[in-house]
Amino acid sequence: MTSGPGAGPSEPLVDLVIPVHDPGRPVGRAVRSVLAGNPDGVRVTVVCHGISRDAVMGQFEGLAGRGLRVVEFADGIAAPTGPFNHGLDLATGEYVGVMGSDDFLEPGAMDAWTSEVRRNNPDVLLAALRHQGASVLRNPLVRAWRRHRLEPVKDRLFYRSSPLGLLRRSLVNELGLRFTEGVRSGGDLAISSRLWASGARIDLASDTACYVIGADADTRVTTAPMSAAVALTAVNDLARRDWLAASPAPVRRALSIKLIRVHLLGAVLARPTADQWDAASVDAVRGCLAALLRLAPDALEPFPRVDRDLLDVLLDRRTGPSDIAAAVTRHAAGGRAARLLPRTATRLFDREGVLVRYLLYAVDPGKRAAPRGRPASASTGRKGRIPFFPRA
């Protein structure tokens, strides 16, 4: 077992980074799932974030000499972006990847990934995802039966907010990609969005074992309570990036729609009462929406009527916390047609519309079954609900 940079005479094929900020997290499970079966050319770097490496070493019994190094890092910020970046700075493998300390891989996943990159040489190999105790997430919801050389707009890559899988390290360095530091949530938005829009070869490992998003922890750092203004900090930062402003209109539109649908509306709908809003949060939401519409003026066209009604309230500068809370209540009561149909009939079959997502689920239902004893419908933990716009 190594305790600092360097892990032997030859460089690994894969450097995987796992930060841990709490010795109670099951980081040992995460590491063992990656190194199970002694995958060739794989090194795991555990970054102890603000804690001593001695606090977690007991979880790694029997892993000496198995491609593991454990390092310490402190930045005083309660977010995983700093240790992620530190681990990437230490990486020397051809491919890099990141993983949450609460997460783990299904048996055979890493072997399958390394075989894929050796065989097909992609710049990015996206992992198949599922939540612990649920079946595979259809994210990204690619074109029917499409698995190789994915395109950011046609294959809805921007809905994959986290760069989970394997990334060519030279590409990460060439683009100057970093996790956004100093934000509580969404620190992976900028790095993933830039990757998907880069023109790199991106493949999806849809028929391999999954990356599992763990459900053991009571609270993740990035899901702890925060105001809407704080929750949207990373989105506002991304909207101001020069590369995005210079991107083709279809890229700006697709990414703006995703950011509005998943992050902005997600932040609003999670705060249904007036006492959850203050002037700063109202201004942050309104300013964020305005910035995204400057990037893509027609971004609201594919949204269903129930969303458009709520977005109209957010755009109206005369509205305040009580108006937003009332609009969230009306949104929750919206009927099936309002949740499906856009205001303009010509947008009914828009690629970013809800109806097209229903059709894609029906045409290409996916091959992966749910874990034994679990429901077969794709789930984000909300019983009976298909995750048409998952947040992973």
CATH number of the domain encompassing residue 161: 3.90.550.10
Strands 211-213 and 104-105: antiparallel
Residues 207 and 273 grouped into a single domain: no
Could you give the number of structural domains in the chain? 2
- Residue 107 falls inside a structural domain: yes
Q: Which pLDDT score is estimated for 74? A: 96
- Residue 317 falls inside a structural domain: yes
Asked which of 173, 199, 221 is the last residue of a domain, the reply is: 221
Residues 193 and 234 grouped into a single domain: no
Residues 265 and 212 grouped into a single domain: no
- Residue 380 falls inside a structural domain: no
Residues 112 and 139 grouped into a single domain: yes
Residues 194 and 255 grouped into a single domain: no
Q: Which pLDDT score is estimated for 390? A: 56
- Residue 7 falls inside a structural domain: no
- Residue 367 falls inside a structural domain: no
Which domain does 323 fall in, by range?
225-300+304-341
Residues 239 and 255 grouped into a single domain: yes
Residues 199 and 293 grouped into a single domain: no
Residues 254 and 211 grouped into a single domain: no
- Residue 124 falls inside a structural domain: yes
CA 83 to chain centre: 17
- Residue 376 falls inside a structural domain: no
Mean pLDDT by 10 residues, the chain (392 residues): 45 97 97 94 97 97 91 93 97 98 97 97 97 92 93 98 97 97 92 98 94 76 75 96 98 98 97 94 96 98 98 96 97 96 95 92 63 35 41 54
Residues 183 and 84 grouped into a single domain: yes
Residues 206 and 327 grouped into a single domain: no
Count Cα neighbours of 49 within 13 Å in the Cβ-side half-sphere. Answer: 25
Q: 166 has which bridge partners?
A: 125
pTM above 0.85, yes or no: yes
Q: Which pLDDT score is estimated for 375? A: 33
Residues 27 and 151 grouped into a single domain: yes
Task: For residue 367, give every residue at least 6 positions away whose Cβ sits within 8 Å of its Cβ, in sequence order, or none.
Answer: 206, 207
Residues 236 and 215 grouped into a single domain: no
Q: Which pLDDT score is estimated for 384? A: 31
- Residue 81 falls inside a structural domain: yes
